[in-house]
Amino acid sequence: MLTTRIINPKMIIQFAWRLQAVCIAISGLVFFLHDILDIKSIAIPFLPVATIGTAVAFYVGFKNNSAYDRLWEARRVWGSITNATRMWGAMVMDVVASRDKGSAEAYAAKKELLYRHLAWLNMLRLQLRRNPVFKESWYVRSPKLQVVKDIFGENKFEPQAEEVMHKFLSEEDRKLFEGKANIASAIMKRQNEELIEIKNKGWLDELEHSDMGKLVLEFYNQQGASERIKSFPFPRQYASFSTAFVFIFIFLLPFSIIGELAKLNSNINWLVIPFTMLIAWVFAVMEQIGDASENPFDNGVNDIPMTAICRNLEIELREMLGEKELPPRIEPVQGILM
């Protein structure tokens, strides 16, 4: 997630330099053919190209609105996880074994419930970020992913399941979850089983057990919502044609601009190059804004800051347990909060 009001110019260049190089090549070729070789027939009327540009702007706007809806839905999901986690922590500390609050056994049970929940949070984060939705190839490099790799390092957000499990889970739980296809779901299932065991001990009554069971259901629902966004990417029939339409418009642009410039003054035909670069950059930015937002769990610069959310919740839950040695909050790096 970007945290600065002004985007770093270096990041803008990293997103735009390939397109600008193509624009210089195409518009420079058009200027060369039209003015140097005197092939005036390459100029085309501006009106059809302007009509295409208007249609492309509407289409890209639709795509960007849909992409933003996906990003905002993902943020709402993790906002719900945050609220439910705080409620979970409060209920564990205030409801579980309320008549035996001072006993070491009760404290150990509460700590296990809270630490296991932290394991679930972090495993869900790692599972969502495990792989990009679309694989990169030698001819396609995603700037939104490359920026994060350049700043944080190639392996910064690789799955670290063992580290999370050793930090938050008992040895018994680690053996239980080893080899599971969906460790986050397995952890939540174990939480539900633990609630039943605690209820059988008499540390929860029927109503309290029901209320905490509803929170477990809420966590399952929000995990499912996150996995749905991750596993069902933005439909390519919209995204791919949007990209194609933008590049068709950009390709035709210098052929129409140079004709309009020639009508004004043949000595300013060279302006086809900067005008093409500027207009193409505007349309390309609109296109890339949608691309950068459509997959909010993809290790990109516009990702939901799940690492920071997990760390904040870890601090809050461990404070509820009375712990003093707490990890630091995650801070933005070069204006990016992960």
**Single-letter amino acid, residue 196:** I
Rounded to two decimals, what is the model's pTM?
0.81
Q: Which two tokens stand for residue 162?
A: 């063992």
Winning range, highest mean pLDDT, from 166-170, 192-196, 264-268, 297-301: 192-196
Residues 304/229, Cβ–Cβ less than 8 Å: no
Place of tokens 């979970």: 88
Residue 237 or residue 304, greater confidence: 304
Q: Which two tokens stand for residue 236?
A: 């390519």
The answer on pLDDT for 144 being more than 60 is: no
**Single-letter amino acid, residue 311:** R
Q: Can you tell me whether residue 206 is helix, strand or coil? A: helix
Largest CA distance in the chain: 94
**Single-letter amino acid, residue 266:** S
**Single-letter amino acid, residue 32:** F
Secondary-structure percent of the chain, ordered helix, strand, coil, rounded to 5:
75, 0, 25
Sorting pLDDT into bands at 50, 70 and 90, what band is 276? Answer: confident
Q: Can you tell me whether residue 104 is helix, strand or coil? A: helix
Q: Report the 10 Å Cβ neighbour count for 161.
A: 19
The answer on pLDDT for 116 being more than 90 is: yes
Q: From CA 114, how far away is CA 108, in angstroms rounded?
A: 10
**Single-letter amino acid, residue 2:** L
Paired strand residues for 2: 336
Q: Report the chain's mean pLDDT, rounded to a whole number.
A: 82
**45: Cα separation from own chain's centroid:** 42
